[in-house]
Structure 1
Amino acid sequence: MFGEIGVLLAFIGVGLIIFSRVRQLPFTRTGWAVLGAGALIAAVGSALVVIPAGQAGVVFSALRGVRPTTLGEGIHFVTPAVDSVIPYDVRLQELTLSRIGEDGRGADESIQARSKEGLGITADVTVQFRVKREEAALLHKELGPNYITTVIRPQVRSKVRDGVGQFNAADLISTQRAALEGQITQSLREVFERNHLELVGVLLRELRIPESVAKAIEEKQTAEQQVAVERNRLQQANIAAQRKVVEARAESDAAIARAEGESRALSLRGKALKENPEIIQLTVAEKLSPGIQTVMLPSDGNFLMDVGSLTRARSSQP
């Protein structure tokens, strides 16, 4: 900017000098003064370089080539007529490879790839990246300003094709889309690092397969889902049957335990009756009406039983 102003003033000074000599006017000194000021401003302006926000300046010296130091934002001094500054954008950039112009007027840059089983898949991809500010001089020296055309675009196409080839088509359009995106990101990050670029992200905008193949995959997935539903129902039925078996076994064990308990109780009762026969008489007496004091029991010989004495005898026992 300052250089342009200086050149303009120099031209004005030259014009004043010529005009004064032709018209013989006293403006010659003024012309020389304007010419000198313009030359001075142009010289100073050519030594001043302003790097805008979001850019980095790579200095190329006619004597020493590309300088390793990158100029940051702001005003910088360079050697006039020796150094030139090449600006590089270090802000976030995007490269999209997709179908452009659905009406057919735009170029189709989508990536054609093949899945693991050989099916054709079309991918639309957006890559976000930026130039590393501190390595902009190396980028300019090794790749130049056309790094997007020479490195980024072909590498994105290559890594996407390689990634798609590792997966089946059915998996890519269902469950493995994120895995493919991660694999492409990892592969591209290594390439970008080697070329002084920072990869920010890879976005798979769309994955397209032939309609006939998509229909076949959909039918297969529907069938697999139905099989899974039936398998789940069978498992639930097996679980219910096992539960009934466990419940029946528990009921059987409980019945056996009750029977064993009753058998043991009867055995103990029989043993007690055998050792104490008078318990039978006492039990019979307790069952009879309290008003009956004497009963006749059948036996080998008839005899009378005094119920009152039995009752009193039981009451007197400690």
Structure 2
Amino acid sequence: MFLIVLGIIVLSAGFILSKQDNQSARFATLIRVAGVILIAIGAFVSMFKKIETGEVGVKTLFGKVEDDVLYSGLHIVNPLIDITSFDAKTQNYTMSAVHDEGSKAGDDAIRVLSADGLEVTIDLSVLFKVSPSRAPQILRQIGADYLDKIVRPVARTAIRDNAVSYEAVALYSTKREEFQNKIFNTINQSFAKRGLILEQLLVRNITLPESVKKTIESKINAEQEAQKMIFVLQKEKQEAERKRVEAQGIADYQKILSTGLSDKQLQYETIKAQKDIALSPNTKIIIMGKGSPVLINGN
């Protein structure tokens, strides 16, 4: 396009010089020829338009947006047409409290009020792409700056509108997935009307007020202490049961003894005791008499 404009200027200058004195008129023809050559070269070069991979091109002729879309590749078009390229790949728009992590520098997190009046800070990532067939609609109704005009304000508004239905702690824990699904549906409906396709929504981080965080931590610590106490009590109960069973066994044994033992039972118990001593690793001297054996410890 630049060469065409330059050629037109040169050609006009040639016509102007042709109306001057004879000396200037000598160069007029040469200048007009140069202007025509520049226009021809510019028109030839402008006929070929390359659309990069993952992009689509929207044609504009004298301010009028045409409906047909140019996809990736080389195209021959009217040299007077302007081409606006749109990225048709998946794009990530992140709003984060961490500096240099989001799409905008600095703290760009979304601060909302929950149902219980607490301020909650939310980090959000929006994964989306431009619908190729609707790129002309986007250029015609929104323009090429759809990130700041649509993606950012729609996402932030959806977060704020839905957060007011939940308490802060619920957003942080039990209702987080439900909250994310509601935001997705809200943004998806808005994007669909404007030629954008929402692929995924990621609630990356939810930060509660410091006072609420301390309350939650205290509650968690109390629950952990309660669980620990339950374990101790169960252990003590099991130990008490073991001692009860042991005591019952001793009591039953003593009861049997109190009822009296026969001579044969006593003799049997004596033999068992002597056998245990005889099997001891210590040296023994055994003196056999008419009565029971006598065992003497050698140590």
Task: Give percent identity, aligned residues only.
Answer: 28
How far is 1:171 from its partner? Answer: 2.7
Match of 1:99 among 97, 100, 114: 97
Would the aligned equivalents of 1:6 and 1:45 in 2 still touch at CA under 8 Å? no
Distance 2:38 2:191 in 1: 46
Aligned to 1:75: 74
| Aligned counterparts of 1:139 and 1:87: Cα–Cα separation in 2 | 12
C-alpha separation between the residues in 2 aligned to 1:171 and 1:45? 61
| Deviation readout 1:275-304 (Å, 9 max, x if unpaired) | xxxxxxxxxxxxxxxxxxxxxxxxxxxxxx
- Could you say if the C-alpha distance between residues 119 and 228 of structure 1 is closer, same or farther in structure 2, counting changes exceeding 3 Å? farther
In structure 2, how many angstroms separate the alpha carbons of the residues matched to 1:231 and 1:171? 27
Question: Which stretch of the first structure deviates more once superposed, 47-56 or 185-194?
Answer: 47-56
Change (3 A) 1:196 1:6: closer
Is the CA contact 1:10–1:34 (under 8 Å) kept in the aligned structure 2? no
Match of 2:278 in 1: none
Q: 1:155 to 1:69 in 2, by over 3 A?
A: same
> CA RMSD for the aligned pairs?
4.1
Q: How do residues 67-216 of structure 1 correspond to structure 2 at under 5 angstroms? A: 67-81=66-80, 83-101=81-99, 106-216=105-215
- Matches of 1:179 and 1:35, distance apart in 2: 67
Tell me the TM-score normalised to structure 2 length. 0.62
Amino acid at match of 1:88: F
Larger Rg: 1
Look up the SS of the partner of 1:80 in the other structure: coil
**Against the structure 1 CA distance between its residues 226 and 184, is the aligned structure 2 distance closer, same or farther, given a 3 Å change threshold?**
farther
* Partner Cα distance (1:126, 1:172) in 2: 17
When residues 99 and 117 of structure 1 are mapped into structure 2, their CA distance, relative to the original with a 3 A threshold, is: same
Q: Would you say 1:60 and 2:21 are equivalent positions?
A: no
The secondary structure found in structure 1 opposite 2:56 is: strand
Match of 2:46 in 1: 46
Mapped to 2, the partners of 1:32 and 1:187 lie a distance apart of 61
SS in 1 for 2:108: coil
Normalising to structure 1: TM-score of the pair? 0.58
Could you say if the C-alpha distance between residues 119 and 58 of structure 1 is closer, same or farther in structure 2, counting changes exceeding 3 Å? same
Contact 1:6 1:37 in 2 (8 A): no
Structure 2: stretches of 5+ with no match in the other structure: 12-16, 18-27, 239-299
Instruction: Assess if the C-alpha contact under 8 Å between 1:10 and 1:37 holds in 2.
Output: no
Q: Deviations over 1:77-129 (max 9, x none)?
A: 33333x32211111221211122538xxx532111112222211001111111
SS in 1 for 2:205: strand
Instruction: Give the number of aligned pairs.
Output: 241
